Amino acid sequence: MSIPLEGKTILITGASSGIGAATARACIAAGMKCVITARREDRLKTLCTELGGSCSYIAGDVTEEGFNQHLLDESGEVYAIFANAGHGLDQKIVDNNMEQFKELFRLNVFSAVELASLATKEMVKRKSGHIILNASCLSKFSVPHNSAYCGSKAAVEAIAKSMRIELKKNKVFVSTVHPIGTKTEFFKESSSRSGTEFSDFEKNSPAWLMQSPEKVADAVVRCLRRPKPEVWTSLPMRLISTLFTAFPRASGVTVNKFS
């Protein structure tokens, strides 16, 4: 069964760059209408101009009280949401800054879950809809100096799993996306937020560990057409993460080699 997407609306957070912007382009190409959001209004405006009349934007901070409800109120009938806005934090646990830790959870977890839960109210009534949450391959295993980030993505995955079972009877699909390293502004933003020197993750990583945001975007559109619980864009990483879950010591040894 392939779900026709033409004319359906998707609300995408974190669409001023990276995976969110690429997904907006891919959704428009698939015939959808897009409502895009992020804080940098100039970026949203430029993307909307590029994508034409089927794309509109609402600028703002998704962690601000009331903003997620405002997004839904202004977006009309939303078939799908892609809760994608997120950031990283490179921080050793001995240097843990609890305010930054909480701030990361406010964006990566609480805001995404709030938007999803608010959106489900109409979806459940209509008995139709799709909630997609951007997690990471790091929802399955953790790397050093990233406890807040890995914890936030594991939380998103666990919450989505519960939502998926709960909403199945209402014909609302719930999916999580598990990208590997993706060539976006993410790593630079994360370093500057953390006050750490920018170590070029993209340059220092093996090619198989990096991908384009368009690859993730195309996988998201395929998932909208044929809903599935988890979206993966790398089979090797999917197998590695399964191995790490089965043999937790392996993840400690292997990941430490990379850090």
Q: Which residues bind ligand NAP (CB under 6 A)?
A: 13-20, 38-40, 43, 61-63, 84-87, 107, 134, 136, 179, 181-182, 184-186, 189, 213
Q: Shortest approach of ligand NAP to residue 75 CB, angstroms?
A: 15
CB closer to ligand NAP out of 171 and 204: 204
Q: Compute the distance between CA of residue 22 and CA of residue 26 in angstroms, rounded to an integer.
A: 6
Task: Please give the C-alpha separations between residue 165 and each of 122, 159, 172, in angstroms, as whole numbers.
Answer: 18, 10, 10
Q: What is the DSSP letter of 14?
A: S
Shortest gap between Cβ of 64 and ligand NAP (angstroms)? 8
To the nearest whole angstrom, how small is the minimum distance from the Cβ of residue 60 to ligand NAP? Answer: 7
Helices and strands: H and E segment counts in the chain:
11, 9
CB of 38 to ligand NAP, least distance (A): 3
Quickly list DSSP for 114-150. HHHHHHHHHHHHHT-EEEEEE--GGGTS--TTBHHHH
| 110 CB-contact burial (10 Å; exposed 0-12 / middle 13-18 / buried 19+) | middle
Between 54 and 110, whose beta carbon lies closer to ligand NAP?
110
Question: Shortest distance, CB of residue 131 to ligand NAP, whole angstroms?
Answer: 15
What long-range pairs does 220-223 form, CB within 8 A, spacing at least 24?
220/23, 220/26, 220/27, 220/82, 220/132, 220/177, 221/5, 221/23, 221/26, 221/27, 221/29, 221/30, 223/132, 223/175, 223/177
- Give least dist CB 170 to ligand NAP, A: 26
